[in-house]
Every structure is written in C-alpha cells, then in structure tokens.
Structure 1
Amino acid sequence: MWTEEIVAGRPAWRHTVSGVVFREVPRGTFRMGLSDAELDAVRAIERSGGAEDTLEAFFAGAGNARPVREVRVEPFLIARHPLTVAQVRYWLPEYEDDYADKDSGTARLEDDLDDLIEAMPFRLPSEAEWEYAARAGTTTLTFRGDGKPGEDQLLDDFGDEERTAAAENAFGLAAMGSANEICADVWIPGFAAAPTDARPRIGDGNRTVRGGAADLYPWQGCDEWLLLLSATRYEHAQFTAVRPVAPLPSR
C-alpha cells in the first residue's frame, strides 16, 4: 500500500493506489497557540503600517488560540499538500469542484466532504498535529519568520513541481495556511483544559479549520495574510480543503 521514495530531495511515502505523497512528521513537543511574542510581532507589523485595516478584531479574537501550552506529538504521516481535485476523484469519481481551475488545484469540498472522509483510508489531522506540522520546529508567525506574509506565500495549485518544492517547510510540507484545512477537532473557542497530547477534542458541532488565505485571493486589502499564521483557527462554515494523515507504515 505504501512506497518509500525521494520527492524533491526529501524522504516521502507514496500511497500506492491513490498516488498521494505523504511526509513523515517526527515525534516532538511544541508550544501550541498564539504566543505573546507572536502577538507582539503582529503589533509590530501594524505599527509599521503593514496592516491594511484596524486589527482590533484580530486581537479581540486572539483568545480563541490561547492559552499557549506545551503539547506532545507522536510521529505520523501527513499529506505533502492538500488533496487536489484529481486526488479526490480517486475516491469520489463523480466529484466536481466549483473553485479550482485545474485538476492539480486544491479541492474544496462542501456536500462531498463526509463522503470523502468515509471513503478514504486516512483520517483528518488533529489541530495539534496540524499546527505542529505547520510550524515545523519554528515559534514565529509562519515558518518563514515574523515578517508579514505576502501573496507570494500562497500556493493553491500543485502542477508545478519546482514551485511546490520551493514552498515546503522544514518537514517537507507545502501550502500550510493557503487553503482552509479542516481538522478532526470540534470547534471550541480557546485551549482551556485542552489535552497536552495531540488527541483531537471531539463532540457535537462544526469542526475547526486552519489556514485559508488563498480562499480570499486575489486579496482585497483586508489583512487576509492573518490566515497564513500558524496559530490562526476558526469554525468551519462552508467549503474546506482536506490534508489527510495516517499512521507510520511498518518497514
């Protein structure tokens, strides 16, 4: 079911039948959530004139990604990038996408979401797994640092292998934050009493979403870059992308 290979100079696992490429994320601990240092970095961007509008709403909602806590994560596989239209069609042959221009573009699912989750032999990442993978060992706003992320950080189509490889973080993952990616956790504002391991918080209601800056492209100057931040989280409402995870294959 799995084939080990080198993709863009890094070890990878390819799911043989679907062709989806996964990266192995190592065991580790990290500080999950929007830290004081990250809030200060956003304030610095605002003071320097980098914000298009007032960021009062962002700061007012910062508690949704706090308090920061240390989380322990066990190793797992996660897809190199969100599933594309072509990849979704492996499990849902009749799938049509109203948002992607090409089959190599990120698939955004609405009514077909539950059908895909049921059909795949994979699961959704927990929020902790997603943020750990997005940070890839960093503690800054994005894996590229505390500077204001720009539209050049967006990646929504994976037909160009060179561009995809150039967008990878230290774990070999591309486009973390570009599309709104759904997680296994139910939406709960804030991290009070959240587990200190990577288990998802489960229950009734909508799931949590991470990322989404490309969903508003072309940017209209409303500070869409905030959706690229590793700690940004919100409640799922409409369409969503899927980046599946899997346990490590046995060697």
Structure 2
Amino acid sequence: MFILNSVLFKYLEADFYPLEKRKKDHIQEQAMIQKMIFFAVLLLFAANITMATTGKRTALVIGNSTYRSGPLKNSVNDAVAMAHVLKRLGFDVILKTDVPKKVMLKSFREFSKKLLRSEIGLFYFAGHGMQINGINYLIPVHTTIREESEVEFEAVAVGRLLAKMKRAGNPLNIVILDACRDNPFKQSFRNFQKGFVQMNAPLGTVIAYATSPGSVAADGDGRNGTYTEALLKNFQNPNLDIQKMFNQTGLDVMKKTNKQQVPWVSTTPFPDYFLAGKALPPSSESSDKSHVKFKPVQKPLVNKPVTNKPAKPEPGDTWTDPVLGMEFVRVPGGCFKMGQTKAEKQYLIKEAGQDMYSRYCMDELPLHKVCVDGFWMAKTEVTRGQFKQFVKETGYRTDADKKGKAWIKNKHTNWIWKEEIGYNWKKPGFSQTDIHPVVCVSWNDAKVFINWLNQKSEQKFSLPTEAQWEYAARGGTKFMRFWGDSDSQACNYANVADKGSGWDPSFACSDGYQFTAPVGTYLPNPFGLFDMLGNAWEWCEDVYDKNAYSKHDHNNPFITSGSAFRVDRGGSWDYLPKFLRAAYRRRDLTDYRDSFLGFRLTINN
C-alpha cells in the first residue's frame, strides 16, 4: 500500500518532472506493480493449495447390514474397509456399524461438531436407502416400515445430513451413498420407486451415488460391494484428483457389471483436490508448467506381488494365502530389547501398586537383547470366517464344543468372567460377523487349524514364538505400545477397554466397539500389522516359564519346557491400560478357551 501511494503522489507532481524522466519512471512503476500482483496471486494460490492438502479432514462412516427385512452381506465390510483407508489418508474417522436411528442421529451430531474444526468433511453410508415423494432416506437397522407414511419417522432423510455439512462452511464436502440397494419393504408399498432421486449438490459439495438415479446397486459377490470395491482402490491413487477418482470408479463399476450399474455424481465446481496426494513444485525437468505434480501424503503399505516361494523377500512385501485369503507381511529380521524397561516399571507401580506389580509383571524381567530372523506374519488375527471354513471342511469339534462350555463375560454373567454352558467360537457371548477375530479357541484348536492349513499349502504355518510376537508388536519402536506411551491415543490403534463402552477402569477414549471389532479396523503398526494390541489375545508357540527371560538364547529364543501352560500375548477388548502393553505376558492351559482369546499365524521360511 505504501508503494502504491508513492506512485500516486509522483503522478500528482508530474509537472515537476521532465517528460523523458516521467516516461522512464512510468515503465518502472508499471513493472513493479505487475510483480506485486503476480506474487500476491502466487501467495494466495499457495495458501489455497496448502489448505486443500493439509487441512484437517473429518469423516463419518456408517455401514448397516443386519436388517430385519433384507439383510445385506457386505455393508459392514464396506464401512470398515472405507474407515481404514480414510484413516490412512489422514481423516479423523467416526465409524459406526449396524446402528439404529437413535445412534445414527447421535453420530450426525458428533460429526457436525467436528466439522466446525475441519477443512474437508466426508460422509459415507453403506446399507439400504430409498426415495419417497422425491426425498431420499437412509434406513437404520431394527426398523420395520409397513407403509410409505412411516418412512419419514423410521428412516433418516439425507437432506438432514447435507444441512449439517453445509452449515459447517467447509471448503469441500463429500457425500458417498452406496445405499441404492433394492427396497426391502417394497412389498408393503403401494407406489414403489427404485433407488434414489437425484439431489442438487450444495456449493462446494460432491454427492456420489453407487448407481444412477432410479436404479439399484449390487451388493457384490465378494467381501465388498461392487461400487465400494472400486472406490477403495481409486481413493488411494495419488495421481487422481477427486473428480477423476469418481470418474474412474464409475468406469470400473460399469466394466465389472457390463454397464448394468452406472454410478452417478452431482457436484458444483471446485479446485483440484487430491485425497491421496499433496502439492509439490513443478519439476524443473518438465517443460509442461500448466499443472502441479503430486505425491502421496502417506506411503501406503507395500503390496508387491510375492510368489509362493519368494527368493529374496524384502521388508513390507505381502503375500496372500490362496486357501483362506489371509494376507501376510514380511517382517524384517533385527534385534530389540525384550521385556520391561525401568520407566515402565515405575509407571506400573504407580498405576497398579507394588502388590499387583509383583504378582503380574515380574515375569517381564530382565530386559534383555534378542535377535530374530526375518519372517512372515499375518496382518490380522484369524477371522471367524476363516475358522468356519476349516470347521466346515474337516468337521472339527473345538475344546469348547467337546466340553460344552467356555469362559465368557457379558451382561448375562453380570460383567464378570464365568465358565458358562453352551458357549463356543460360534456363540462367544456377543455378536460377531465373519470378519471378526475368532475367539473361544484353545491352543490345541489353533494347532489343529494350522496342521490342516499346512496340508493344503506349500508353506509351513505356525504360531509365532513369544520373541517373534513381541518384536512384531513393537514394530521397531521402544515405547510401551507401538503408538507411544500415551493412553489417550489407544482408540485410534486398538480395540481396548474404552470409556465409550462403559468399562472401568478404562482408556479415556472410545473405540466404537464394546466387544471384538472387525479385524483391521484400526491403524496398523509400523510393520503394517493390525490389532497387535487389543481386540483378542493371541496364542504363542512357547511354553510359559516365569523365568524365561533369564534362559533365552540371544538369537531366535524359544522356550519348550517349564510348565503346563502356553503363552498368549497382546491384550483384548476388555483390557485396561496398565496391562495392554507390548511387554505384558499371560499364560493359559492348552485347552483353555474364552471370548477374548484367538490367534494369528506366521511363516518362517
């Protein structure tokens, strides 16, 4: 402003300047003004790019499957997978599955509050949806609708959510509706219309439909719905901005369904935005300066194709078991300090007291250096669906089946652990789907499962040794938990005894699940492994010995004697902060089974 005023002052005094001098000054001043304008525009552009790529991102993800009428196979799977991808892309994610109307509206309010502090808001819904009299509705679970007039009272209008997102005033909002499944109540309706009606997107909003207005989307024949399966792939492509990402998703769906399903997008103009990328200066080697190049915000987990017998596997390589579809990641060999640190001991005595520390935590000593060779570890715990396939093929009866009972903890037991008749891996005392970790399985059950899988595969599967497990759980870190020593971050990384589920004592956060969560729901550790802490305890190969750490070999230690117990590690959905740590050890008899104990596999070749 000072420079511009100076320019104006010189023109007012023009008569005091010779003509040639005035011409020369005029040219210089015009050049200066043009430079100022250029740099001002450049700064605004840079600020806009920064806002669009580094601002806070908030997402609400809802998946409903267990409808009384017209249950869906993949909606919860879709929501869980979408939440995982969004977390990797930097979103603060609220994940809700199989929610009734009251919970859905409560999650809307929570989402609305978080949007006020965000730059981008995203809403994703998978489940049943319908249109009545030109209004689109999302259908909660536990809903019974007998006629059209009941819809507005039993369902949730999409416009209700759009109004909340518009009120937040974010530069960009994204609404994804994989909800155009067939109307489950159509036989009760006099005037039935398929799918959704098209909505006009508010300013700065993208509304993406799984299929075109008035059409029905497929639930898919795999783990995910047809639309979401394509969406998950393209969401993580750093070379696609939002417009191109939705366009490519539409092309993928049309190709897979032979153009029977055509996704639809309603939007208003907005600048290029890369969900999986951030701005970089244009390359000096490129002659094309008309666009900005992008690179991923976060390096995705390596997913290189690996043969059945990789010659020289590299850390982060993945391999998928062809029998059950279990995905394994290559864990690099290395050395680490195994056991409890001095700082950890001080924390435990302060939190638990000397007596409890002496009873439960002394077997974590002494802290000692251990080295392990590289190995393959399953990214997640063995799921209920994978175990079900084994039982279906072999007719195997677990220890819980043979004994007719298992240890459970729920409202029926007054929230204390009791051995109850009639419980097993199919009935653990709470609701599960095929993508939850299998529980109520003994060490014996896990070994029979592994022997069966070894007979069907070229690989040699096993339970991890205790040293392998702790090395993998730490993920190369030196903290009590791989995300750090803080209790408050637990619910981003693990299914724990959380405040939101009413556990006491608890972590001061909410992880969204009172009992087990679908595997892979939370963020992975640095090795790309999920649920290494929380969700379900995991059996190890070792015999439990309270003095094992004084007997360990330096390289690949493995304890084969010392008691009738086997080791299990990792904590679970009801474990409190002082015990949910990478160093904590637990022991159980080989036929023991309860509703928070499962297992995961390793391959040592």
Give the TM-score normalised by structure 1: 0.79
Aligned partners of 2:357 and 2:551: how far apart in 1?
23
Q: Per the alignment, in what secondary structure is the counterpart of residue 336 of structure 2? A: strand
Task: Please give the secondary structure, in 1, of the residue aligned with 2:369.
Answer: strand
Counterparts of 1:30-69 in structure 2, within 5 Å, are 30-42=336-348, 46=350, 51=351, 54=353, 56-69=355-368
Shift of 1:118: 2.6
Which residue is equivalent to 1:235?
587
Aligned pair 1:72/2:365, yes or no? Answer: no
| C-alpha contact 1:209 1:235 (8 A) present in aligned 2 | yes
Structure 2 vs 1, CA of residues 211 and 226 (structure 1 numbering), >3 Å: closer, same or farther? farther
Matched, 1:226 2:518: no
* Structure 1 position 212 matched with structure 2 position 571: yes
Alpha-carbon distance in 1 for matches of 2:353, 2:550 = 27
Q: 1:148 aligns with which of 487, 495, 513?
A: 487
- The partner residue of 1:196 within 537, 554, 558 is 554
Tell me which residue corresponds to 1:118.
451
1:9 is aligned to 2:301 = yes
Q: Any gaps of 5 or more consecutive residues in structure 2?
A: 1-235, 237-299, 304-317, 397-424, 455-460, 496-515
Structure 2 CA distance for partners of 1:70 and 1:151, relative to 1, 3 Å? closer
d(CA) in 2 for partners of 1:227, 1:98: 27
Measured after TM superposition, the shift of residue 61 of structure 1 is 3.1
Distance 1:147 1:206 in 2: 32
Distance 2:545 2:485 in 1: 26
Asked whether 1:187 is paired with 2:544, we answer: yes
DSSP-derived class of the 2:449 partner = helix
Aligned residue pairs, count: 225
One-letter code of the match for 1:232? Y
Contact 1:177/1:227 (CA < 8 Å) preserved in 2?
no
Measured against aligned partners, the alpha-carbon deviations of 1:133-174 in whole angstroms (never above 9, x if no partner) come to 000111111001112266614334336x6x34xx20000001
Q: Secondary structure of 1:17's partner?
A: coil
Deviations 1:69-110 (A, max 9, x none): 111110000010111101112322257432261111111113
Matched-pair contact (CA < 8 Å) for 1:149–1:228: no
User: Offset at 1:185?
Assistant: 0.5
Structure 1 180/193 Cα, relative in aligned 2: closer, same or farther at 3 Å? same
Hey, what's the Cα distance between the residues in 1 that align with 2:452 and 2:357? 37
What CA distance in whole angstroms lies between the structure 2 residues aligned with 1:69 and 1:244?
25
> Structure 1 pair 149/80, CA: closer, same or farther in 2 (3 Å)?
farther
Q: Pairwise mapping of residues 13-24 of structure 1 onto structure 2 (< 5 A)?
A: 13-24=319-330
Look up the SS of the partner of 1:30 in the other structure.
strand
Secondary structure, aligned partner of 2:578 = helix
CA distance in 1, matches of 2:565, 2:360: 18
Q: Secondary structure at the match of 2:480?
A: coil
Question: In structure 2, do the counterparts of structure 1 residues 227 and 177 end up closer, same or farther at CA, with 3 Å as the change threshold?
Answer: farther
C-alpha distance 82-236 of structure 1, shift in aligned 2 (>3 A): same
CA distance in 1, matches of 2:368, 2:473: 16
CA distance in 2, matches of 1:205, 1:154: 30
Task: Quote the Cα distance in structure 2 between the aligned partners of 1:54 and 1:213.
Answer: 22
**Structure 2 match to 1:3:** none
Q: Which has the larger radius of gyration?
A: 2
Whether 2:517 is the aligned partner of 1:157: answer yes
Please list the CA deviations of residues 167-216 of structure 1 after superposition, one character each: whole Å capped at 9, or x if unmatched: 200000011121111101001003112121223211251111112231x2
Is 1:244 the equivalent of 2:601? yes
Percent same amino acid at aligned positions? 25
Question: Quick check: which one's helix share is greater?
Answer: 2
Gaps of 5+ in 1: 1-5
TM-score (norm 2): 0.35
Higher RCO, 1 or 2 (CA under 8 Å, sep at least 6)? 1
Please give the alpha-carbon distance, in whole angstroms, between the structure 1 residues aligned to 2:483 and 2:489. 11
Query: Structure 1 residues 149, 119: CA separation in 2 closer, same or farther (over 3 Å shift)?
Result: farther
The reply to whether residue 169 of structure 1 matches residue 512 of structure 2 is no
